[in-house]
Amino acid sequence: MKRRIRLGVNIDHVATVRNARRTFEPDPVHAAVIADLAGADQITLHVREDRRHVNERDLKLIKELIHSRVNLEMAITKEMIELALKVKPHQTTLVPEKRQEITTEGGLDVVGNFEKVKEAVSKLKEAGITVNIFIDPEEEQIRKAKEAGADAVELHTGAYAEAFAENDEEKVKRELNRIKKGAKFAKEIGLKVYAGHGLTYKNVKPIAQIEEIEELNIGHSIVANAILLGMKEAVEKMVRLINE
């Protein structure tokens, strides 16, 4: 039977547009419901320390309203662990977080933060939440993620995406091989394997073809396409309205 990959739709950037005007639209909760109805297997969102996009209200409503799974990306802080334990998403993805970064720039350093990661994994798993760790596709990080008790690792595809955007074929090949090798190793040691970050309609196929990968989490490119593909209808509707 053909393998099916789960799609987690990250709706953070719908909230980025909302927050640019400190208003109520577009509502990421509405976006989550539509993505859910359209066939997303999961809604992914990252409540950041500075709440630059989604917030607790969005998380709670999405958890209540959607029928697929909720995947909360979170830094390993006391505040975020408490929030996860309260809202109980189906899955959490542990990510590093720096205030200044534009997006999550590197994978979580599980090797360097082992005890902290292990403690967080254990608290979340005790509450029945699946734990995924976002890491660079490096053997040592993968091994430590398993040792920390994670259920899954999400391999960071950012370097691959960057190489793809630069049209650097050699680098694309190198980065793709790193991800393939990481995926194989992770599966061998008993982890579920996911991938994400910087994936677009143009670069996603070679990643989706990696046999071990069960789930992809994609945000920016889907939101970008939603804005553009919806533009025609939105403008036509306004022209009609003001001329009625």
Chain residues binding ligand PXP by CB under 6 A are: 10, 12, 46, 73, 93, 95, 103-104, 134, 154, 196-199, 217-221
138, 197, 212, 215: the catalytic one is: 197
For ligand PXP, the closer of residues 8 and 244 by Cβ is: 8
CB of 62 to ligand PXP, least distance (A): 15
46, 53, 138, 156: the catalytic one is: 46
For ligand PXP, the closer of residues 156 and 180 by Cβ is: 156
For ligand PXP, the closer of residues 103 and 177 by Cβ is: 103
CB of 202 to ligand PXP, least distance (A): 13
Contact 197, 156 (CB under 8 A): yes
For ligand PXP, the closer of residues 66 and 74 by Cβ is: 74
CB of 12 to ligand PXP, least distance (A): 6
Q: How far apart are CA 178 and CA 194, in angstroms?
A: 14
CB of 11 to ligand PXP, least distance (A): 10
SS (H, E, C) 24-52: CCCCHHHHHHHHHHHCCCEEEEECCCCCC
CB of 241 to ligand PXP, least distance (A): 32
Helix (H, G, I), strand (E, B) or coil at 192: strand
- How many CB atoms are located within 10 Å of the residue 120 CB? 26
Of the candidates 96, 51, 87, 35, the one whose C-alpha atom is nearest the C-alpha of residue 219 is 35
Q: Rounded to whole angstroms, what are the CA distances from 175 to 52, 59, 139, 160, 164?
A: 30, 33, 14, 5, 10
Is 197 designated active site? yes
Q: Rounded to whole angstroms, what are the CA distances from 106 to 25, 51, 102, 142?
A: 30, 20, 11, 14
For ligand PXP, the closer of residues 165 and 235 by Cβ is: 165
Contact 33, 65 (CB under 8 A): yes
Is 67 designated active site? no
13, 53, 73, 212: the catalytic one is: 73
Q: How far apart are CA 230 and CA 192, in angstroms?
A: 35
201-210 residues labelled b (16+ CB within 10 A) or e (exposed): eebbeebeeb
Catalytic annotation, residues: 46, 73, 197
